C-alpha cells in the first residue's frame, strides 16, 4: 500500500460516499478512548488547496475514515459524541482519575 501524500485543504465537503464499515477509532484529543464508529468506506471529497484551486480526491479505507474523522472536528464533533452515555460516563471517570494521579 502506498503512503498517502500529505494534503493541505480548506472547505472540504463530501460529494458522495459508498459502503459502510465499522472502524475502531481513537483520537489525540481523547487519550485512551477508542470507539467503533460506522463510516463510509469510500468518500469522494472536494476541497480547496493552498492556492485556492478546487480539487477532488477519492479516499478509501483508512484514509476515508481519517478524512471523515477530521471533517467531524471541523464541525465541532469529537469521537466521544458518537458514544453511548454509559461509555461517555466511563471515559469521564477514567479521565478524572488520570488527572488526579498526574497532580500528585
Known catalytic residues are 70
List phi, psi (to 5°) of 67: -60, -45
Given a contact cutoff of 8 angstroms between Cβ atoms, the answer to whether 24 and 36 are in contact is: yes
Amino acid at each position: 500500500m502506498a503512503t498517502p501524500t500529505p494534503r493541505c485543504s480548506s472547505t472540504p465537503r463530501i460529494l458522495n460516499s459508498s459502503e459502510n464499515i465499522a472502524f475502531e477509532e481513537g483520537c489525540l484529543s481523547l487519550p485512551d478512548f477508542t470507539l467503533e464508529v460506522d463510516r463510509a468506506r469510500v468518500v469522494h471529497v472536494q476541497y480547496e488547496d493552498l492556492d485556492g484551486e478546487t480539487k477532488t480526491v477519492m479516499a478509501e479505507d483508512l484514509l476515508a475514515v481519517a478524512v471523515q474523522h477530521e471533517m467531524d472536528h471541523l464541525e465541532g464533533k469529537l469521537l466521544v459524541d458518537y458514544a453511548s452515555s454509559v461509555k461517555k460516563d466511563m471515559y469521564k471517570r477514567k479521565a478524572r482519575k488520570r488527572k488526579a494521579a498526574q497532580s500528585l
